[in-house]
Structure 1
Amino acid sequence: MSDKKSFSERDICTKYITPALVQAGWNLHSQIREEVSFTKGRIIVRGKLHTRGEQKRADYILYYKSNIPLAVIEAKENSCSVGAGMQQALNYADTLGVPFVFSSNGDGFLLHDRTGMANRMEQALTLDEFPSPAQLWQQYCQWKGLETTQARHTVEMPYFDDGTGRVPRYYQANAINNTVEAVAKGRQRILLVMATGTGKTYTAFQIIWRLWKSGAKKRILFLADRNILVDQTKNNDFKPFGAAMTKISKRQIDKSYEIYLSLYQAVTGSEEEQNIYKQFSPDFFDLIVIDECHRGSAAEDSAWREILDYFSSATHIGLTATPKETRDVSSIHYFGDPVYSYTLKQGIEDGFLAPYKVVRIDIDKDLQGWRPSKGQTDKHGEMIEDRIYNLNDMDRTLVLEQRTELVARKITEFLTATDPYAKTIVFCDDIDHAERMRQALVNLNPEEVKKNRKYVMRITGDDIEGKAELDNFINPEERYPVIATTSKLMTTGVDAQTCKLVVLDQHIRSMTEFKQIIGRGTRINEDYGKFWFTIMDFKKATELFADKDFDGEPVMIYEPGSDESPVPPDKEPGINLDENGNPLPPLEKGGTEGGFEEPSPKRIKYVMGDVTVHVIAERVQYYGPEGKLITESLKDYTRQTVRRDYASLDEFLQRWSQAERKATILQELQQHGILLEPLADEVGKDFDAFDLICHVAFDQPPLTRRERAENVKKRNYFTKYSEQARLVLENLLEKYADTGIENIEDIKVLTLDPFKDMGTASELVSVFGGKTAYLKALHELEDNLYA
């Protein structure tokens, strides 16, 4: 019999753990899932390159009825203790929201019960004592408070399966299960917070599907405030509802359907006869799902809230990436604390959302200010008020035309250096600013505009042709438009999967608006090479990243009845929309894109064409491992990261010399964000990876690959090998000098030039006496290289 101590971790799983689970009654095909990767690995960006960090992968996840995760098991080799994997498993259980956590080395199990209902939180079990699905499910239901048969029936209802193998990601499953369980227990107001780009609509579909199929909810209304959102929802994620679904319009009220989708604007109006929702009885719907619920429905006295009040007996589920919490507007006050939150930081850390790097550009007149001379007039003859104008005034009360051109030039330079066809959104202060920016970008990109006049488009609420190009802009398959200048129109509801550059030349003070704008770039589209995006900031908007509220849990600060708030709810900054979900045009010249009047008196804009401006500072900041922006060089980052893994040069040298394959160490470093190619661009392309690391992290003088190869030749140790073997080693040494260590470690190198002219790979290995002897000779070559 084989020694159990010599078995690999996988052997332990196959021979001991899986049989124990099957014996306890777990279905091998529907309830036991092995080696489950539930994150994708954080995307790490350095320079123009990126890599992915390590995925989180559980050895086992056990499910009840295939959709409710009950337990996580972490397996270890038998040489480890039975509880050696517990802390790792608890980490996974926190993420997955799983109550039962097991560790095993094949001798037995250690159970950690997170429900708080057991006599002992941790207890040892033999292989024969693993609990059955029924036992864990019963305890799970007690823990969750699912006391009735109907509640359990609702929760057990499976997801919709489209036959493609698509299943909800772990955080979507958490959101769906938590929401369905809350409904099953009778909760009437539910809030779900999920970052932009994480699939809120798909999550909503699965929630509705399970509640509908279980019979818990029979007639359902999905509310949104943009026509494009309703149509996308109906035609994409909600398509499986088929003939049971309809879209409400002012021309059609048919009460024979079960799933209704509607714009707020389609069922409400200023006149009583326009309030079409009242054609339904107040108890017609038993579930209402409100998309982007931080918008109109968050304010207590809004017309849109009247719909929710009318159907108050229904269960209301609010979806948002940015719950609104001010002294007079509160998502939490209405819906309650979120049943689940998934933040931008979590999405980036898991590798489901694109990280960003920030290019901060400071302009002299913004920071140092500009003051007119006595009696100076602008280009339109307006007398300029005598004071100092700074960043707060730019493009609002003072327009410096050369500043607009400078911003446009920096955008153009960036796109030229990276990808001239990278989808770009330029957020401006108002429509006038967006138009000036469009003109400046057109003038700086004449060749591209000659190819297609839609290379740059203004997409704002007042421009019919610009709005008509919105679908083309967000369609990955459409090249044009490439650059969109906008103000408010594209802050929400724009699924720009391939947007690689977000330009902030807008004064942003609202955290909600800032989050929505950043969300335009957070989607990943691997098919089109979109893994990360760049934020180019000209107005210090990205200082909001440092605000504790940027990615924190929403906290209610609502003060009902407060008369101190400077912004009443019905005047809250936003976009005024028509019945089709399109922004209304300005009320008058000087109005804003949202259709709200400017404060009286009308704001004057002074326009100056002859004030010169210059960039006085430019820096690049990366999204760091802790979710904070870091400003540091590639060398500094490499030094800190390597020294975190290896306390001393000796420790690194020992690990390097003992490694079976050097490429393994390089892959580990890559997962921690060290990208050797851009580092070589800074330090020297002729240096070996080993020398780059030793030089940057431990201040060692580097040798080029050619110098290391020549040093090996001087030792003349090849003489102990046969002539043919010596020729192979000499060519391996040349290959190393040209391309580096990773290439010669792969035995496939023997199928390439110049080796393929010397014989087949198997023939070349045989001259050493077999594969084992060949690998031994290769390791000796490496020892000499790094002696």
Structure 2
Amino acid sequence: MNKKSLSERDICTKYITPAIEKAGWDRLTQLLEEVSFTNGKIYVRGKLTARGARKRADYILYYKPNIPIALIEAKDNNHSVRAGIQQALDYANILDIPFVFSSNGDGFLFHDKTADNDPIETELDLENFPSPETLWLKFNQFRGIVTKEAEKVVSQDYYFDGSGRSPRYYQQIAINRAVEAIAKGQNRILLVMATGTGKTYTAFQIIHRLWKSGKKKRILFLADRNALIDQTRRGDFKHFKDKMTVVKHRMIDKSYEVYLALYQGLSGADEEANAYKQFSPEFFDLIVIDECHRGSAKEDSAWREILNYFKKATHIGLTATPKETNEVSNSEYFGDPIYTYSLKQGIDDGFLAPYRVVRVNLNIDAEGWRPEQGKKDKDGQEVEDRVYNRKDFDRHLVIEERTQAVARKLTEFLKGYDRFAKTIIFCTDIDHAERMRTALSNLNADLVAQNHKYVMQITGDNDEGKRELDNFINPEETYPVIATTSELMTTGVDAQTCKVIVLDAEIKSMTKFKQIVGRGTRINEEFGKMYFTILDFRNVTDLFADKDFDGDPIRIKPVTEETDLSNIVDEEENQATPLIDEITGQEIIIEPEIRYPEPQTPTDKVKEPREKVYVNGVDVSVLISREMYFDNNGKPITASLKDHTKELIKGQYASLDEFLNRWNSTDKKEVIIKELEDQGVLVEALRDAVNREVDLFDLICHVAFEQPPLTRKERANNVKKRDYFTKYGEQARKVLETLLDKYADEGVTNIESMDILKVKPLTDYGSPLEIIKQFGSKAKYLEAVKELEQELYKTGA
């Protein structure tokens, strides 16, 4: 047998797999082939979406299920044994795997990340692949797992419920790193994972492994919202069954092993209300703090006292948005994150939904508004003469026409998109959310008449709205469709099918902005939720350009105790915070105390702020509405779309001739489209910017190489003028002429698909088989289509 003639798959089957098995790896439990570990990035093309390629390793070797320790990249025998090592190293770096191999079927190149003084890369014969025990021993030494007790904890199996669900690669890394750290004695741990990436499931698996191994016996899961506790109890933690309880009304039963509790249920304003003290300080040996950037993040908060009381326990903080300010530091308390999985990574991997951003600028927001002389508010009082700007609107000054303009723009958007797309509108405060609900109800009276829950105000003070929160986030429930809110839905709301987020509040806090964006990042393919749109009326999405948006938080809290913090006001902490009254079970709004600088002299007077001023009769209009575009790194494109695209295309094709050769030699033009999109070319956006009637071919030639573009119709007419079809029979000629018309209407990728033979008017010529018969065979039909394409592009650019 000639080894060089074998495919890569044959090399794997005949040489690589047998060598691994001979070394002692169990094919059923330890050796996985062709492992896809990402879902493929979602690309948005107008209203359509497409998945990019998944990342796939040829082999991943596991010592225990979900504990991967080695990765192998295979090549056919026309490559050297080293040929796959760089790709293997890239994948191993992503997957946190220390032992990396490349093979062409002759042997293995072994890259050992644990090597210290030894050579880092060595060649091995097929007979000398290392055994599971050899690599496991090296793995534990490298990770610092040196005792039998620690090894018992680290090798504890995951929980499997028989449904086939298992942790994604990044969840595996977070779980394994946390369990390893705790096995080695680390007691403060921070995990940073973007909203929608399964923090609670990750926490469940960490707790389960520590609990089953006997390392941790009593566990407390802490959160500060009822919704978070309910989702946890009914969701991932349900497998704890009768070992788990929810602490309610400060009633403590010490016979359970896993406790779910609200901070508010354990602490109160006076000593008697501090229910956590019914437990001894040593009762819990593991505490998991959900959304740890809030509540207990602040050193002097009442809630931090709970953590201090149980200070001997291991504390794990979970957050999508670790907080680092002059006053609050997650990393100071927990240490630096042991693992971070960012929004950008989640979108690139295809586990999180990408976003479109539409910026809407209103005239009074851009230019400011100054009342005309003698202008009176709705109460008949004269409005103070000054220029009011976006920061004033809805907080100090309410302009009825502005509320109407925002509601009208959103309604127009939904009518052109999907009137039943789940939508959250973030307003300045509860009053603003009330008014927005009314404005939207009036503009959507037809749907509100069918069901008054089409638009609902869901805020902390509104019982009816809060009762509908579960229905809003339930994909199976149609209503409510639109939710107006202020603070209640910024976090802890698992809105899988939220397709539109509207920003009509001033948001300067990066933490809060990330949390709000996180409401849209979940994917639900069953219900068609693959991406979401942000409608921004306040330029909040400027924060996307901030280097901190998807970067690691930098610890900035001063170490010195002498720093004067008296004048520092934390933007987010001063927002109205929804809390839960444990006695009534109701969510309430508490306005936190804001610290202002002390007056300098006894004669200084603090001016009392006037209540909100309400005015109407103001001309409000949309100045501009435009979509923002983002590059492959998730950063806003600041250059013009054409300039940005030109740069990307020229990075792919250095000259017009190079592009023409590639175009004419490629059988399926969608391959070129896919390549360009992978490079970050926004094909659909470019069509909108140039001309939707222009083919991709002309778009590229025009934008990158400054050639005058022809429309698809012009190209089709040029072919018809050349009377190119005369060599075919009458029926075949009619088919090709119809394909030409289809090209003019829809583009080249449509005529390349065999499915086009199943749609009108082509179905008038018979079934796909009957049509193909007119050309003699399928191969000849495809050849005719290829020739048609060559005729279309014959004139070059």
Give me the TM-score of the superposition, normalised by structure 1. 0.91
| Distance in 2 (alpha carbons) for counterparts of 1:643 and 1:144 | 45
Aligned counterpart, 1:589: none
* Aligned pairs for 1:475-624 within 5 A: 475-559=474-558, 561=561, 562-567=563-568, 572-573=574-575, 575-580=577-582, 585=588, 594=591, 601-624=608-631
Q: Does 1:628 align with 2:618?
A: no
Q: Deviations over 1:73-121 (max 9, x none)?
A: 2222322232222222221112111111222222222222222435112
SS of the aligned residue for 1:238 comes to helix
Change (3 A) 1:763 1:400: closer
Kept in 1: contact 2:574–2:594 (CA 8 A): no
Deviation at 1:205, TM superposition (A): 0.4
- CA distance in structure 2 between the partners assigned to 1:632 and 1:760 by the alignment: 47
Task: Tell me by how many angstroms 1:678 deviates.
Answer: 7.1
Using the alignment, how far apart are the partners of 1:374 and 1:756 within structure 2?
71
Q: What is the 5 A alignment of 1:658-673?
A: 658-672=665-679
Q: Secondary structure at the match of 2:515?
A: helix
How far did 1:338 drift? 0.6
Residues in 1 aligned to 2:317 and 2:403: alpha-carbon distance in whole angstroms = 40
Q: Distance in 1 between matches of 2:622 and 2:376?
A: 25
Per-residue CA deviation, residues 181-211 of structure 1 (Å, 9 max, x unaligned), is 1111100010111111111101100111111
Which shows bigger deviation, 92-101 or 7-16?
7-16
What amino acid sits opposite 1:702 in the alignment?
L
Aligned mates of 2:638, 2:421 — CA distance in 1: 24
How far apart, in 2, do the equivalents of 1:745 and 1:612 lie? Answer: 52
3-state DSSP of counterpart to 2:633: coil
Tell me: CA distance 1:392–1:130, structure 2 relative to 1, closer, same or farther (3 Å). Answer: same
In structure 2, C-alpha distance between the alignment counterparts of 1:298 and 1:759, rounded to whole Å: 67
- Offset of 1:373 from its aligned partner? 4.4
Paired positions, count: 775
The answer on 1:278 being equivalent to 2:285 is no
Question: What are the superposed Cα offsets for residues 387-431 of structure 1, whole Å, 9 maximum, x if unpaired?
Answer: 222122111222111111111111111111111111111111111
The question of 1:449 aligning with 2:456 is answered no
| Alignment partners' CA distance in 2, 1:141 and 1:376 | 76
Amino acid at match of 2:55: K
CA–CA distance in structure 2, aligned partners of residues 408 and 760 of structure 1: 49
Contact 2:631–2:680 (8 Å) recurs in 1: no
Q: Which of residues 710, 714, 739 in structure 2 aligns to 1:702?
A: 710
Give me the whole-angstrom Cα distance separating, in 2, the residues matched to 1:763 and 1:391. 63
Contact 1:712 1:785 in 2 (8 A): no
Matched residue, 1:590: none
- Cα deviation per residue 1:3-26 (whole Å; 9 max; x = unaligned)? x22322222222222122112222
Mapping 1:241-640, distance limit 5 Å: 241-250=240-249, 252-374=251-373, 376-559=375-558, 561=561, 562-567=563-568, 572-573=574-575, 575-580=577-582, 585=588, 594=591, 601-630=608-637, 639-640=646-647
TM-superposed CA distance for 1:314, in Å, is: 0.8
Would the aligned equivalents of 1:45 and 1:673 in 2 still touch at CA under 8 Å?
Answer: no
What per-residue deviation string (whole Å, max 9, x for no partner) do you get for residues 631-690 of structure 1?
677766655544332222221222233334444334434555667677667766776554
Trace 1:70-81 onto structure 2 (pairs within 5 A): 70-81=69-80
Letter in 2 for 1:731: V
Q: Secondary structure at the match of 1:323?
A: coil
Are 1:216 and 2:215 an aligned pair?
yes
Distance 2:773 2:361 in 1: 61
**Equivalents in 2 of 1:766, 1:384: separation in Å?**
80
Distance 2:116 2:64 in 1: 23
Give me the CA root mean square deviation: 3.1
State the match for 1:82 in structure 2: 81
- Aligned equivalents of 1:679, 1:737: Cα separation in 2: 23
Change (3 A) 1:644 1:398: same
The letter for the 2-side match of 1:577 is L
Letter in 1 for 2:565: E
Note the C-alpha offset of 1:567: 4.4
Q: Confirm or deny: 8 A CA contact 1:24 1:130 kept in the other structure.
A: yes
Distance 1:536 1:181 in 2: 43
Residues of 1 paired with 2:499 and 2:75: CA distance?
42
> How far apart are the structure 2 equivalents of 1:475 and 1:81?
53
Residue 252 of structure 1: how far off its partner (Å): 3.4
Per the TM alignment, residue 554 of structure 1 is displaced from its structure 2 partner at its CA by 1.5
Q: Name whichever of 549-558 and 168-177 sits farther off.
A: 549-558
- Aligned equivalents of 1:450, 1:766: Cα separation in 2: 56
Which whole-Å CA distance do the structure 1 matches of 2:721 and 2:246 have between them? 78
Distance 1:756 1:407, change over 3 A: closer
Unmatched segments (≥5 aa) in structure 2: 597-605
Deviations 1:719-775 (A, max 9, x none): 5xxx87x9657735643542565456556777888699779849967985x776776
Secondary structure class of the residue paired with 2:359: strand
Counterpart code for 2:62: Y
Kept in 1: contact 2:732–2:775 (CA 8 A):
no
Aligned-residue sequence identity (percent) comes to: 57
Q: Residues 726-741 of structure 1 correspond to what in structure 2 (within 5 A)?
A: 728=732, 731-732=735-736, 734-739=738-743, 741=748
In the alignment, is residue 192 of structure 1 matched against residue 191 of structure 2? Answer: yes
* SS of residue in 2 equivalent to 1:607: strand
Given that residues 732 and 744 in structure 1 are in contact (C-alpha distance below 8 angstroms), is that contact kept between their aligned partners in structure 2? Answer: no
SS of residue paired to 1:450: helix
Matching residue of 1:108: 107
AA of the residue aligned to 2:739: K
Cα pair 1:54 1:671 within 8 Å, conserved? no
Deviation at 1:352, TM superposition (A): 1.1
Name the CA distance, whole Å, in 2 between partners of 1:370 and 1:583: 40
